[in-house]
Amino acid sequence: MLSEQMEDYLKAIYRLERDGEPPIATSTIAETLDVTPPTVTSMVEKLADRDLVEREKYKGVTTTAEGETVALEIIRHHRLLETFLTEKLGYDWAEVHEEAEVLEHHISEEFERRVAAALDEPEVDPHGDPIPSEALDPVDDVSATALSEHEEGGRLEVARVRDRDPAELTYLADAGITPGTVLTVDEVAPIGMVTVKLESGAEVSLPDHIADAIQVRRPESERPEDGVSEA
């Protein structure tokens, strides 16, 4: 049986792999988990002994097929729990991350199935993150890019918000910026600020680090139909 810490490491490594190019440096893992590099090295050795990761000396770490499955299971638990907490228990989206971090290690597979069924098999969580299927197929994040990458005038729809800071999530919700919100990039200032205009007419100025965390795509009404390629 794996410890909670081992599961947290596998989840973090998997996410880093999806966001970048593996192998993942131990220094990157240390920064992500807010631990020291020697601590990461010690845990990676334990995970490698269980064939959950492969370590390339001087290069970094990659999850094995078994390690990826464990990571996907924990991610599925986490995102289902976040969805359950918001939809069934009335939690705010800014509150659910820490709760799910604790609970994700302790639910049974039967509980997981019942939660998924009660939620009608959701595909994304309250932040727009994709929920792995029961078969634990690898999750490909929605085809979206950071808001900060877009030029003035672009009309976009929020796909997901990767920020987990409760204060910043509360600010975004109060401003009306959540998954599904359609907005237009009004101004990109050279001082590290992006101003967007919502369909309500409200204008919201966002620091670059928050604009980086907001993933956007073309509004659904402007996307090509299935089978029609985007030129």
Which residue range forms the structural domain that includes residue 154? 145-222
Give pLDDT, residue 57.
85
In the chain, % of residues over pLDDT 70: 95
**Would residue 89 count as lying in a domain?**
no
Give SS3 for 220.
Answer: helix
Domain assignment of residue 56, yes or no: yes
Domain-located, residue 80? no
**Hey, which residues does 146 pair with through a beta bridge?**
215
For residues 178 and 215, give the distance between their C-alpha atoms in angstroms, rounded to a whole number. Answer: 10
Across the chain, what does the average pLDDT equal? Answer: 93
Query: How much is the pTM?
Result: 0.90
Instruction: Say if 35 falls within a structural domain.
Output: yes
pLDDT digits (tens, 9 = 90+) for 57-96: 889 999 999 999 999 999 999 999 999 999 999 999 999 9
Averaged pLDDT, 128-151: 88
pLDDT in tens, 135-146: 999 876 657 899
Question: Which pLDDT belongs to residue 1?
Answer: 86
In whole angstroms, give the CA distance from residue 217 to residue 180: 10
Please check whether residue 158 lies inside any domain of the structure. Answer: yes
Q: Report CA Rg, the chain.
A: 19
CATH number at residue 38: 1.10.10.10
For the chain, what is the domain count?
Answer: 2
Q: Which residues pair with 121 in a beta bridge?
A: none
Q: What percent of the chain has pLDDT over 90?
A: 85
Beta bridge partners of 183: 156, 198
Least confident of 38-47, 169-178, 197-206, 217-226: 217-226
User: Domain for residue 189, yes or no?
Assistant: yes
Would you say residue 44 has pLDDT above 90?
yes
Instruction: Confirm whether 153 is domain-assigned.
Output: yes
3-state secondary structure of 231: coil
Whether the CA torsion 82, 18, 123, 93 is positive or negative: it is positive
**CATH number of the domain bearing residue 162:** 2.30.30.90
Whether residue 231 is predicted with pLDDT greater than 50 in this model: the reply is no
The answer to whether residue 55 is domain-embedded is yes
Structure confidence at residue 157 as a pLDDT band (50, 70, 90):
very high
Which of 63, 87, 109 is at the close of a domain? 63
pLDDT tier at 177, thresholds 50, 70, 90: very high
